[in-house]
Amino acid sequence: MARAEPRRRRDGRSTRALALAASLALTACGDGPGGRAVIAADPGPLPPPVYPETWRPQFHFTPERNWMNDPNGLVYYQGEYHLFYQFEPDRPILLFMHWGHAVSRDLAHWEHLPIALRPTLADGLVFSGSAVVDRANTSGLCEGADPADPSCLVAIFTHFGPPGLTQKQSVAVSQDRGRTWELYPGNPVLPNPGTPDFRDPKVFWHAPTARWIMVLAVGDHVEFYGSANLLDWTDLSAFGPAGVTDGLWECPDLFELPVAGAPGETRWILQVDYNPGFLAGFSGGQYFVGDFDGATFTPEHTDIRRVDGGADFYAAQSWSDAPGGRRIWIAWMSDWRYALAVPTTPWRGAMTIPREVGLARRDGHTVLVQQPAAELKALRHRRIASERNRRVEDRSSLLDGIQGDTLEIVAAIRPEGATRVGLRVRVGEGEATTIGYDVSAGRLYVDRRNAGTSAFNPAFAARHEALMPLRDGLLDLRVFVDWSSVEVFADGGAVVLTDLIFPSPESRGLELFSEGGAATVVSVEVHEVASIWRGSEASASGRRPTGPRP
């Protein structure tokens, strides 16, 4: 089989633009009540960053250099979480797409590995897709020497190229834990049927029917295919249009989850991304709760349900074969309206933190909940503030003197007489990002209109919100603040907002606020978060990049 390496896929561009890119590529080949805790064993300040560039995320995954978008091929295998991703290795814009590659043993610290899949003249560019562990060697492609474990990794992804610059599904195999890949000589395994948008395969093993299932984005709907061997695919059914129906569906995911508090009860979640113009005008994701019988998906609701109420959560994909049956996903943290213009260098593109997803009941409905992966608690460097049972009014002095640009904040607030309550993070001279709750509107919001740099796109300076009735009159928040992002989890993870921000490095203040009346801070804790990059582990070469490549 021909040696392959990853090529990156596009999202949010027209087929015509993709065709142009492809043609170019192929021719160019101790709390005390009411008081602040005193920390007895202070580990001291955070060490200097390995990646010191302005706005470089410290605990979110980024490529060393150049462009990154969709997460791809998420799979757990032999002790490692694999993160492949759409990657342009030579430019800070999407064009000649590869699959980049990184691995982690703890979902927090990542090791960059060489490019996994590259475009070829014969097959075209490498767009998004998935990867699976072929444990029983159903494909016949595994060449393992251990009879007790004949498994290998198989990637199923979209090639975009000849003939006629079409999208079709291909396969590659790795015999060495994902370090090198070979293209299947019989590609494509699913040729294009004559439609311009035919991409982003998500593949998983469906035990009740003893076959592989592929979910594929096809214009304004998804299609389901089945296979016994990952190579020969049969059309099963389609779902959609539904929910948001104008524009393209992309990057689907489908999985089964237990319903919290209902022993033995499960539902299937179908997640699809929508681009362009999702609801409030930006790209985003929607999900459907329902049933999947191995051939057909049947939803149990018709209302539109957003995966994330912020602007910067796209192309979420979950890890296959995660230990303990956990369902963990990660997403590209950007928005197609301005993704090509964000003012970062020498890289462009970041992932969200990994999130564990589940199902819960809210007001008689089964809803998706997301929580930061438990492994991220290990990144807490030190607790720098802790308050309980304190009354606040206006701009409270409760957190005066507390500063930081990599923070985890856990708070519970009763609005009581207030009309708005919340936090301001990355506060500085004329700058702040507001995470608030509007009591009368019943909405949680992130306001980044004064967060910092925003002139690169007129759509960036905005407020994003989500409907969220308070439960028992209590606002619960878990907030992650990095050098260029905020991620807000509320109502037990049923409401999440993710937004990029680009504040001045000097803007490091933190405030609690209550408007229109007093509120009670039931509890608030603030933790410094350590960098995920540790010395030479920050790069495959051990170097510390500090500026653009010449």
3-state SS, one letter per residue, for 219-267: CCEEEEEEECCCCCCEEEEEECCCCCCCCEEEEEEEEEEEECCCCCCEE
β-partners of residue 518 are: none
State how far Cα 167 lies from the chain centre. 24
| Catalytic residue flag (residue 70) | yes
Whether 466 contacts 518, CB under 8 Å? no
Q: Which two tokens stand for residue 205?
A: 């093993």
Could you give the CA distance from residue 244 to residue 275 in angstroms, rounded to a whole number?
10
Catalytic one among 11, 31, 70, 197? 70
Length of the chain: 550
Edge-to-edge strands, sheet with 66-77: 111-117, 98-104, 80-88, 66-77, 347-348
Could you give the CA distance from residue 204 to residue 208 in angstroms, rounded to a whole number?
12
Q: Which residues contact 339 (CB under 8 A, 6 or more apart)?
A: 12, 69, 348, 349
Inter-CA distances, 41 with 35, 37, 306, 327, Å: 18, 12, 42, 35
Could you give the CA distance from residue 214 to residue 203 in angstroms, rounded to a whole number?
4
Whether 359 contacts 491, CB under 8 Å? no
- Positions annotated as catalytic residues are 70
